[in-house]
Amino acid sequence: MGKTLFFEELIFLDEQFKTSDELFASICPKLLAGGWVKESFQEAVIAREKVFSTGLQTEPVAVAIPHTGAEHVKKSFIAFIRLRNEVVFEHMGIPGQEVLAKFVFILGIAEQKKQVVILSNMIATFADLELMDSLLEMMNKKDIQLRLNAQING
């Protein structure tokens, strides 16, 4: 795909939140202030998460990939949040099952038709155990950005 989706200013390391709503309340205003999303984004991503949950039980850590429709996005991005503590998300494929996510990837894709491809690339990324392990340890946001962009672009 060759497109930059991860940006240094959208990488948040060792953040701490009690709930996913608290995470969205902290991160989404930063996305809005940076011109990445429309004002409707936060409410839309929370509403979508309640209907179509996005937690995935991956190894070595669980992840969540909250996202919403392109109509709420100004510029395409993926925000990466590495949590100090896990936050509960509902499992994507198993309603009612909780996933304790350590990584959250908030997707904002401005072109709806590309969303499925990007989601597929993200799921392939989660299968890369070496990358997932390294994301637990890496501290340099620029290095994380470069590594994730290289991975998502295959």
- Residue 144: pLDDT above 50? yes
CA distance 47 to 43: 6
Peptide bond into 60 cis (omega under 30): yes
Q: For 100-133, what is each residue's pLDDT tens digit?
A: 999 999 999 999 899 889 989 999 999 999 999 9
Given a contact cutoff of 8 angstroms between Cβ atoms, the answer to whether 83 and 101 are in contact is yes
Report the percentage of the chain scoring pLDDT > 90: 89
Q: Shortest CA distance to 41 belongs to which of 91, 110, 114, 118?
A: 110
Is the model's pTM score more than 0.75? yes
How many Å is the maximal CA-CA distance in the chain? Answer: 37
**What pLDDT does 1 receive?**
43
Of the pLDDT bands very low, low, confident and very high (cuts 50, 70, 90), residue 2 is low
